[in-house]
Amino acid sequence: MKIFLDCSDPDLIKSAYDTGLVDGVTTNPTLMLKTGQNPVDVIYQISEIFSWTSSVSAEVVGETAEEMLEAAVEYYNIAPNVTIKLPCTIQGLLACQDLTRDGIKTNVTLVFSPAQAILAAKAGATYISPFIGRLYDQYTDGIGLVKEIKEIYSMHNVETQILAASIRNPIDVPRCFAAGADVCTVPISIFFKLYGHVLTDKGLEMFNRDWADLQEQLYAEQ
C-alpha cells in the first residue's frame, strides 16, 4: 500500500516527502507545463529526493513507439528510480514491451477499461494507472474499475500493480485501497487533507485544554 504524489514541483514534493509517508511521484505533460522548466531537469531534481528503490514517473510523448523510446532514454538514464510513463495505445504498449525487456520500470497511463488493463499487463507494465476522477466525469464507476481489474489480476497472478490516479477527493483514497489498488497517486493538497478530521481537531482541543487545566491545578496545590 503506497502513496505517490501527483506533482512536478520539487519543493512541494520535498515538503510532503519529509513526512516520511510518501513513496513516489507521478508527473505528466500538464503538470510539467506549470513548472515552465525542462522536464528532464525537473525529473532529475525529483529523483534526487527519493531512494533508488522508489518510483518517479516521467511521461513520454510521441506518435510512434520509436519516438517514445527515444524520449525515454533521457529519463531512464537519470536514475534507477525513474519509471517511464506511456499511454495505453498500440504504440505505447509496443514501447512498454521494449522497455520491460530492458529491465526498465513502466507505468501505462490513461487506462479506462479492464480490457486495457489486461493488455498493459501482458505488455509487462510495472504499473497501470486507471483514471478514477475522469471516469466519474463520464458517470462511470471509477473505483468499480479498480475492483474489477484487481479481481482479474488476482485470478491470473498478474504482477502489474494498480496505481489509482485522477483522485480528486480524500475519501477516494481509502476506497481505492479497499478496492485493491496497490498505489494511490494524489495531488499534494489531497495528501495533506488525509490527515484531517473534525473529530480529531475537537478531541485534540479538548485534551490540550484539560492538560492545561491539570497543570494549573497542580501548580495551585504547590
CA-to-CA separations, 165 to 2, 20, 25, in angstroms, rounded: 12, 21, 11
CA-to-CA separations, 65 to 96, 101, 110, 170, 180, in angstroms, rounded: 8, 14, 16, 36, 30
Residue given cell 493538497 in the structure block: 189
HEC sequence for the chain: CEEEEECCCHHHHHHHHCCCCCCEEECCHHHHHHHCCCHHHHHHHHHCCCCCCCEEEEECCCCCHHHHHHHHHHHHCCCCCEEEEEECCHHHHHHHHHHHHCCCCEEEEEECCHHHHHHHHHCCCCEEEEEHHHHHHCCCCHHHHHHHHHHHHHHCCCCCEEEEECCCCCCHHHHHHHHCCCEEEECHHHHHHCCCCHHHHHHHHHHHHHHHHHHHHHHHHC
Give the catalytic positions in this structure: 85
